[in-house]
Amino acid sequence: MTKETQSKQILRYLRSGRTITSMEAFRKFNITCLSERIRDCRKEHNIRTTMVTKNKKRFAEYKLIKS
């Protein structure tokens, strides 16, 4: 059985209509470098980045834009 790549895990999650942040990616998939996986996914998909501020911390939130 082939293990699903991290990029495919992220795409599957985003296709469900959810957004994802680095902390969520680490908690759900044990992915430590989400920005790199998003970069890989952007080669074939339109992904929007929104900068979010929460508790005086700023971070990126990613969402798949369906065409």
> What confidence tens digit (pLDDT) does each residue in 18-40 have?
999 999 999 999 999 999 999 99
Give pTM, 2 decimals: 0.89
- Chain-centroid distance of CA 67 in Å reads 18
Listed in order, strand segments (DSSP E) in 1-67 are 20-21, 47-54, 57-64
pLDDT tens column, 37-57: 999 999 999 999 999 999 999
How does DSSP classify residue 33?
A: -
pLDDT at 66: 84
**Are the CB atoms for 37 and 7 separated by under 8 Å?**
yes
The pLDDT of residue 67 is above 80: no
1-10, 11-20, 27-36: segment of lowest average pLDDT: 1-10
